[in-house]
Amino acid sequence: MSDFYNTDLPSIFKNEFALGFEFLPKELLFRDNEMQEITSVIKPLLQDRPGVNLFIYGKPGLGKTAVVRFLLKKLEEADLELEPFVLYINCWKNNTSYKLALEIAHALSFYSVQNKSGSEVLQAVVELLNKKPVVIVLDEVDKLEDFEALYYLLEDVFKKSVIAIANDKSWVVRLEPRLRSRLQPQELEFKPYNKQQVHGILKQRLDLGFIPNAWDLTAFERVVDKTFASGDIRVGLFLMRQAGLIAEYRNANKVLLQDVEKAIGKLASFSVNPEEILDDDEKLILSIVTAQPQRIGDLYKVYKEKNGSLSYKSFQRKILKLSKGKFLHLERVHKGGTTTLVSKGLKQGLQRFIDS
C-alpha cells in the first residue's frame, strides 16, 4: 500500500516538457537561411537605421514561431550598444486592437491604462515605442480581427521592423491597400522539411525528452513517417509523448511499435488548431457566420463583399462540408420557398484549447 504514490519509480522520460509544442530547444536545425534572412531585416535597426518589415508564411508546424522566438531571445541576450524594444505578440490570444494595445503596454511595463480607450492606450504606447528602435513580431497575424493597432504601429512608430507571421500567403494580399503599402514587407516562405530533416528534429527532441535507449528503432521510424506525411512537427512531438505515456502505463522501459500504433489512434483527438485544417475560403466563411442563424443567400452576399471568390454552387458545397465537420449548424426552413439557415456550430469553441 505504502508505495501507491511512490514517485521514485524510474521514468523513461528525462524531461517530458521537452516534448511540449512551446518548448524551445537550444539549437534549431535546418533553418539557417531563414534565420539569416530574418536577422538581415532587424540588423539595420540596430545601427539606428530604418528597419525593414517582413512577412513570414508557411504551413503549421514548420518552425516559424520557434525560429523567430529563438532569434528574439538571441537579440535580447546580445550585448548591443543600441538595445531595441523586443515585442512578441500572439494575435490569436490578442485578436483585437484593444487587447493588442494592452499587451504592448504590459510588455513595456506601462500600467496606467485604466479608463483609457484602445486608441488612447495605443497613443501612449506609440510614444513610448518611439524612444528606441523596436522589433515587433505579430505571430498568427491572420487572427487579428481589426487593424487599428496595426495602423498605429505602421504609421506612428518610426524605427521599427514589423515581422508578421501567418500560415497563408494570402493574408497580405487581402490587406487593405492602404495598410499593405505601409507594410510593404519582404516575404519569406517556410517550406516543408524533407524526411531526413524531420528525422533530425524529432531525434533531437527524443534525446532531450527521454532517457537513453528508451526507444525501439522501428517505433521511432514509424513516428518519423507519420510526421513527415503530415508535414507538421507537432504531430511527431504528440506521438512521442503519447507513446511514452502508453509504454509507461504498461510498466515497460522501452517504447515499442505497438505503443506508437496506439498513440496514432489518438491522433484524431490531437488538438491542433481546428482552423489550421481549413482553407482560406472556409476560414472566411467561418468568420462571417454568427450564432444567429442567417439565410445562406444573405451569407453569400456578405462573403462576396469580403472578396470571397467562390461561385454560389461551390459556396453551398463548402457550407455543407463545414456542417459535416460540425463547424456550422444548418437548418432547412420553408417560408414561401425553401432556404437554409446557417449558424455557428460546436467546434468553434475548440479554439480556446489551441496554443501553438
Query: Which residues, 6 or more positions from 55, have their beta carbon under 8 angstroms from its beta carbon?
Result: 163, 164, 165, 166, 171, 172, 183, 185, 186, 187, 188
Nearer to Mg ion, 65 or 242 (CB): 65
- Taking CB under 6 A as the rule, does residue 356 contact ligand ADP? yes
Nearer to ligand ADP, 30 or 110 (CB): 30
Query: Which of 34, 54, 63, 65 touches Mg ion (CB under 5 A)?
Result: 65
Write down the least CB distance from residue 242 to ligand ADP, Å.
15
Write down the least CB distance from residue 64 to Mg ion, Å.
5
- Taking CB under 5 A as the rule, does residue 94 contact Mg ion? no
Tell me how far apart the alpha carbons of residues 287 and 131 are, in angstroms, rounded to a whole number.
37
Nearer to ligand ADP, 64 or 241 (CB): 64
Which of Mg ion, ligand ADP, none sits in contact with 233, Cβ below 5 to 8 A by type? Answer: ligand ADP
Residue showing the smallest CB distance to Mg ion in the complex: 65
- Taking CB under 6 A as the rule, does residue 272 contact ligand ADP? no
Nearer to ligand ADP, 23 or 88 (CB): 23
Query: Which of 11, 14, 16, 30 touches ligand ADP (CB under 6 A)?
Result: 30
Task: Say if CB 47 and CB 179 are below 8 A apart.
Answer: no
Write down the least CB distance from residue 40 to ligand ADP, Å.
19
Secondary structure percentages of the chain, helix, strand, coil, to 5: 50, 15, 35
Written as one letter, the residue type at 234 is R
Nearer to Mg ion, 144 or 260 (CB): 144
Question: In 10 A of CB 283, how many CB atoms?
Answer: 16
Tell me how far apart the alpha carbons of residues 299 and 61 are, in angstroms, rounded to a whole number.
32
Facing residues of 210 across strands? Answer: 13
Task: Say if CB 215 and CB 206 are below 8 A apart.
Answer: yes
Write down the least CB distance from residue 165 to Mg ion, Å.
6
- Taking CB under 5 A as the rule, does residue 242 contact Mg ion? no
Q: Residue count at the site for ligand ADP (CB under 6 A)?
A: 19
Query: Which residues, 6 or more positions from 300, have their beta carbon under 8 angstroms from its beta carbon?
Result: 312, 315
213 phi-psi bin (left φ>0, alpha ψ -120 to 50, beta other): left
- Taking CB under 6 A as the rule, does residue 122 contact ligand ADP? no
In three-state secondary structure terms, 86 is: strand
Query: Which of 234, 241, 299, 327 touches ligand ADP (CB under 6 A)?
Result: 234
- By residue count, the chain amounts to 356
- Taking CB under 6 A as the rule, does residue 151 contact ligand ADP? no
Which of Mg ion, ligand ADP, none sits in contact with 234, Cβ below 5 to 8 A by type? Answer: ligand ADP
Residues of this chain, 56-95, that bind ligand ADP according to CB under 6 A: 60-66
Nearer to ligand ADP, 68 or 105 (CB): 68
The 10 Å CB-count burial string (b at 16+, else e) for 208-234 is ebbeeebbbeebbebbbebbbebebbb
- Taking CB under 6 A as the rule, does residue 241 contact ligand ADP? no
**CA nearest neighbour of 106 among 90, 84, 87, 127:** 87
Tell me how far apart the alpha carbons of residues 209 and 190 are, in angstroms, rounded to a whole number.
26
Could you tell me the three cell numbers for 45?
535597426
Nearer to Mg ion, 164 or 219 (CB): 164
Q: Residue count at the site for Mg ion (CB under 5 A)?
A: 1
Query: Which of 31, 222, 226, 318 touches ligand ADP (CB under 6 A)?
Result: 31
Residues that bind Mg ion (CB under 5 A): 65
Residues that bind ligand ADP (CB under 6 A): 21, 23, 25, 28-31, 60-66, 201, 233-234, 237, 356
